[in-house]
Structure formats: C-alpha cells, structure tokens
Amino acid sequence: MAINFLTSTNTTFDVVVTADISVTCTDDQRTQYLSTGDMSVLEDVGEKATVFTLRPLGPAEREQAEIRAGAYSRSELGRLLWVEAPNDPREKARWHHKLPIDEREAFADYEAYISRVYLEMIRESLVSIDGQPGTIEMIQQIRPDGMRVTTITELVLHIQRASLVGDEGK
C-alpha cells in the first residue's frame, strides 16, 4: 500500500461529501473515495454537488490547530480513556456507564477537544465552498446536525489524507 499525500501546502484539491444528495455511491465506493480522494471512483457526482476546496496542512499548521483547540489544557486522563474505549457502540455505552463521574467528565472533555481540533483543522485548510470563500462558520450552519457532523468528519479525513508527513513530505 502506497502512502499518498501532497508534497506542498500551496496546492489545493476539491472534495465532495458522500452524504450530499447529489453524490451517489456504494459503501465500498465511499470507503475507496475517502481513502484516495479520487472522485472518479464514485458512481455519480451531480452538477449540484457541493464542492469544497481544501489545502493540505503542514506539521506546524496542524500543531497550531491543536494548540488553538486546547492541546496544552486537554485532559490526559480523558485521552487515555478515549484510547482505551471499546469500538463497538453497545460495548462502549456499557463501558462508559460504568465509569466514575470524574472519568466520564474527563472523557467528555477530551472528546470536546477532539471536536475542536477538527474544526480548527478545517478553519486552517478550507479555501472555498462552490468556488466562493468558505469559513468554518458556514459549515457549522449545515443542518440537519447529522449532515454537519458527516461533513466535518469527511473534510477532516481528506485533510489528514492529503497533509504532509514530517518536514519534507513524500
């Protein structure tokens, strides 16, 4: 498996969100698209599909996004619990229910930190939406909430996939 990412943060790339009603794809096509960023693997991208133009983030930009999100004040206990949390939703719910209150709060604080990191990454990376200057505030206005969450998640996946690794890039 080759590692694909852009070698310059001066480059931009276009993406769509697979939950957009103008985008048609199977689950396998969605997985392949989110892994590669290659829109040609999608069954159909309609003319009305919303196009997000992003730029990759270098290491310093990713670090600044984390700092703005609260990297120096995040809960280390929350981080540890977040890493240890089960993946299965039912199992995770039972696991979470058994946590003492202070651990639940630490876990929630860390999840909130991760959400802030995602928003800061998008703030740093987003160039435009349908060719017009885009902002994170515009994305925060997407409704219903499930579509907003999916949009944020997919944009972050694309940003992470395209962003540089280390100082040199490959």
> Taking all residues of the chain, what is their mean pLDDT, rounded to a whole number?
92
pLDDT of 169 higher than 80: no
Q: What pLDDT band is residue 4 in, cutting at 50, 70 and 90? A: low
63-118 pLDDT, tens per residue? 999 999 999 999 999 999 999 999 999 999 999 999 999 999 999 999 999 999 99
Query: How far apart are alpha carbons 34 and 156 in whole angstroms?
Result: 10
Instruction: State pTM to two decimals.
Output: 0.87
Specify if 112 maps to a domain: yes
Domain holding 67, by residue range, is: 13-162
pLDDT of 5 higher than 80: no
For the chain, helix (H) and strand (E) counts, in that order, are 7, 6
Query: How far apart are alpha carbons 116 and 20 in whole angstroms?
Result: 23
Three-state DSSP class for 45? strand
Query: How far apart are alpha carbons 144 and 91 in whole angstroms?
Result: 27
Q: How many domains does the chain have?
A: 1
pLDDT of residue 166: 44
One-letter amino acid identity for 166?
A: G
Query: How far apart are alpha carbons 24 and 17 in whole angstroms?
Result: 10
Specify if 126 maps to a domain: yes
Specify if 57 maps to a domain: yes
Specify if 100 maps to a domain: yes
Q: What pLDDT band is residue 27 in, cutting at 50, 70 and 90? A: very high
Other Cβ atoms less than 10 A from the Cβ of 84: the count is 9
pLDDT of 23 higher than 60: yes
Burial of 132 (0-12, 13-18, 19+ CB in 10 A): exposed
Specify if 38 maps to a domain: yes
Specify if 51 maps to a domain: yes
Specify if 167 maps to a domain: no
Nearest alpha carbon to residue 15 among 164, 154, 165: 154
Long-range Cβ contact pairs of 91-98 (< 8 A, separation 24 or more): none
Average pLDDT over every residue of 23-33: 97
Q: What pLDDT band is residue 170 in, cutting at 50, 70 and 90? A: very low
Specify if 102 maps to a domain: yes
pLDDT of residue 144: 94
pLDDT of residue 9: 73
